Structures are given as structure tokens and as C-alpha cells.
Amino acid sequence: MASEVRATVASSWASNTGNHVPSGVRKKASLGAVALAVLMLAACNDKNAYVPPPPPQVFVAPPVQKPVQRYLEFTGNTAAVNSVDLEARVQGFLETINYKDGALVKKDTLLFGIQRDQYQAQLDLQKAELASAQATQANAQIEYNRQAQLGRQDFASQRAIDDAKTNLDKAIAQIAADQANIQLATITLGYTQVTAPFDGIVTRHLVDVGALVGYSGPTKLATIVQVDPIYTYFTVSEQIVLQIKAELARLGRNLTEIHNVPVEIGLQDQSDFPYRGTIDYIAPQVDPSTGTLEVRGVFPNENLSLIPGLFVRVRIPVGQPIDALLVDDTAIGRNQLGSYVLVVDANGVVQQRQVTTGRLEGQLRVIEKGIDPGDKVIINGVQRAVPGNKVNPQVGTMAAATPAASPAAATASPPSASAPAPAAAPAPTKP
């Protein structure tokens, strides 16, 4: 490089001397060329040095410590407490439909009216036959009394007395038969009015007014469904059943003694479990084909926010609340090994910790295993943190956790203030 500079200076000097330029100008030009050469030579002697960038800035915060209720979670389906097909049990023309499709009706509300004329006539006929039998019975009673009196006076044979007694007994029996026929006719007449057997919602009518029903057997007219309260059915695996049985045995109890345990459900479009009820049925045996035990919960549904057939998420509180560590759900990453969080050690170096996560509490996720209370978890700037590299940690704050409601504190329909809160199910022992 220096030789090239000297050559450039020499060439410039030669070119200047070869031209007829005034001596003062040539002198200034020569001095400028020399100065430029000196600067270029000085620059060639400098050495380039790499300056590393500063560590990236991240925000860290310790895990939140708070009591958390443990839950067993399942999936299930809602079902109606009662669902009955409304059928026409007698033959006749459908005369009236006394409800609006999908209406909520009360028990004994008239829903359908079937032609009554012939059944009313049959009832009237049976009443007339009863009156005739009663008249016959009165006459037979008089005749029997007469023959009995004559027999005591030896004016009537014993055969005449026996015949009079037989006729009286037949008349009494005929009265009983006619009374039974009246009851049957009354019942049959009642079948012409189809009423609601309980409070519920009636589906659309399946037969129109004027149609002949009941001509070849019962005709389905509609269905009534009781949805307040409402059931939820779900299944528990055999392994969990055995764990719960072992824990109950330790407490001196059995499966039949864990009724009224609180249970919560949530719909597919809900992140929480807003509907709360109690367990009212546990199957007495495990289904050998599936290895599961059927369990049923009952839930108040006064505002009809739940309908039968919905897929729901189910959870049951177990044991007592335990102290747990929670971190921002956004601070948790996932890889092929599972979930992890990034923490900063005392030297400012990023470390990756594999963790076992639990349920979501508001914006915080329960961490069951993998971190300590004093760890500095990266909650912001995770993208700039690389495990093994240094960072510039700044103090941040975890998101506020939503206060955990008591398992029996809220219901889909508020319970009575005097009703005692049911106890949680015993925690299953870990194998």
C-alpha cells in the first residue's frame, strides 16, 4: 500500500513538472499531494477491532405464590332430567293444539284435544247401565226379604229363598261391574285430553289438527323435555376410580358416601366453569367394555342457559387448596420435550427449564414442577433471550391472577342462603 502511495505522489510530481504551470501553483499542488499521501499512510497503519453489541433487554419476575384448588377434569354431555313422548292413546280426530311450539308449560297444562263425542257417549251409557243395575238390585233385595220372611213362616221353600238370594247377589255384582266400566270409560275419555306430565318445554307438534290419530296404536304428537334442573353425565377412568377408592378407604368411607360433591361444568366457547352443581349418582359398577364408571351431576337451570345434548367440560375439586407457583401463560414456550420457561440466573445468563403445567388461573398458568419460588422468569422479551447467552434483566410484574372462587360459591341459579356448601371429593392418591 505504501509503495502505491509513493508511486502516486511521484506520478503527480512528474505531471506537474511536465506542464507549464506557474511555480507557486506547482508548489501548492505538491504540498497537497504530500499531505494526502501522509494521511493515506496513517490510515493504512490502523487495525479494525470488533465491538460486541450490548446484551438484549428482557423483563423478569418471580413466580406468583397463591393457594390453588386442585381439580379432576373430564368431558361429558348434558341430558334432560325427564323426556317424555306425548302420545294419543285413543282413536279419533285431533281437534285442538293448545300450545305454541317450543313453549315452556306447567304441569297439567292441556296440550292436545282429541275428539270426545263417542267416549263421552260410552261414559253416559255405562252410567245408565249402573242405574239399571241399581234398580235391579233394589228389587232383588225386596224379593229376598219377602222370601226370607215366608221361609221363617214355613210358607216358602228353601229353594225359593236360595233363588232370591242368588238374584240379589247377581244384582250387587252387576252394580260393581257397571261402576268399574264407568271408571274405564272415564279414563278413556280422559285420554282425549293430552296434558303436560311435568313442567318443561314442548317440541313442535308432529300431527296437525284434523288428522286421525290412534287408529293403529299410539300416535306420537310431540315430546316434552324437563330442563330445570338438568343432568350432566360423564365417565371416570378405572385408574382414577381405584385411586379415589383407596383414599376413601383410608378415610373409612366408600363411593356411596361421596354424593353431593360439588361439580363444575363449562361449554366449548367458555374458558371458565360458570355452572356449578352437585354429584347425585355414581354407577354401582365399572363398564367392562370401556373400563369407566358413569357419574352424573345435577345443575340448577332456572334461566335455561343449558339445554340437553351439549358437550361440556367437567371438573371436580379434590382435597384442599395447596400453595402453588404461577407464571404468565404467555411466558411458557413449547418444544418436543413439552413446556418450558426461560429464567435468568445470578450471572445474567438465560437458562431453559422444562416444566409441568397445570390449569389456567386468569392470565396465569399453574406450574406444578420445574421452577422455584426465587427464580427470575422472563415474562417479556422472550424472543430476544437465547439459552446460554447473557441478557440485561429488568424487573417486571406478573399478570394479576383472577381470584379463585370457592367450588360452591356460585351456581347457575343461586342456591338458598341457608343451604350448606358441599365438601370437595377426596384427593386421589398418586400411584
pLDDT band at 5 (very low <50, low <70, confident <90, very high): very low
* The pLDDT value given to residue 77: 96
What mean pLDDT comes out for the span 189-213? 95
Query: What CA–CA distances, in Å, run from 246 to 195, 255, 262, 329?
Result: 49, 10, 20, 34
* The pLDDT value given to residue 1: 47
**Tell me: the pLDDT tens digits for 258-293?**
667 889 999 998 888 999 999 988 888 889 999 899
**Tell me: the pLDDT tens digits for 114-123?**
999 999 999 9
Query: Is residue 98 domain-resident?
Result: no
Query: Is residue 247 domain-resident?
Result: yes
Query: Is residue 89 domain-resident?
Result: no
Last residue of a domain, one of 290, 321, 352: 321
User: Which residues form the domain of 387?
Assistant: 58-71+322-395
Q: Are residues 263 and 333 in the same domain?
A: no
* Residue ranges of E strands in 89-192: 92-97, 104-105, 110-114
Q: Are residues 303 and 337 in the same domain?
A: no
Query: Is residue 407 domain-resident?
Result: no
- The DSSP letter of residue 185 is H
Q: Are residues 308 and 329 in the same domain?
A: no
Which three-class secondary structure state does DSSP give residue 295? strand
Q: Are residues 242 and 311 in the same domain?
A: yes
Q: Are residues 127 and 179 in the same domain?
A: yes
Query: Is residue 143 domain-resident?
Result: yes
* Nearest-angstrom CA–CA distance, 47 and 402: 59
* Nearest-angstrom CA–CA distance, 233 and 79: 7
Q: Is the pLDDT of residue 417 over 50?
A: no
Q: Is the pLDDT of residue 187 over 60?
A: yes
Q: Are residues 345 and 301 in the same domain?
A: no
Q: What is the CATH number of the domain that holds 311?
A: 2.40.30.170
Q: Are residues 62 and 38 in the same domain?
A: no
Q: Is the pLDDT of residue 66 over 60?
A: yes
Q: Are residues 312 and 387 in the same domain?
A: no
Q: Are residues 239 and 317 in the same domain?
A: yes
Q: How many domains does the chain have?
A: 4
Model pTM?
Answer: 0.68
Last residue of a domain, one of 274, 304, 321: 321
Query: Is residue 53 domain-resident?
Result: no
Q: Are residues 297 and 238 in the same domain?
A: yes
Which three-class secondary structure state does DSSP give residue 385? coil
Peptide bond into 288 cis (omega under 30): no
Q: Are residues 14 and 24 in the same domain?
A: yes
Query: Is residue 186 domain-resident?
Result: yes
Close Cβ partners of 400 (under 8 Å, ≥ 6 residues apart): 362, 363
* The pLDDT value given to residue 117: 93
Q: Are residues 330 and 366 in the same domain?
A: yes
Which three-class secondary structure state does DSSP give residue 28? helix
Last residue of a domain, one of 139, 168, 191: 191
Q: What is the CATH number of the domain that holds 161?
A: 1.10.287
Buried b (16+ CB within 10 A) or exposed e, 148-164: eeebeeeebeeebbeeb
Grid coordinates in use for 89?
A: 292413546
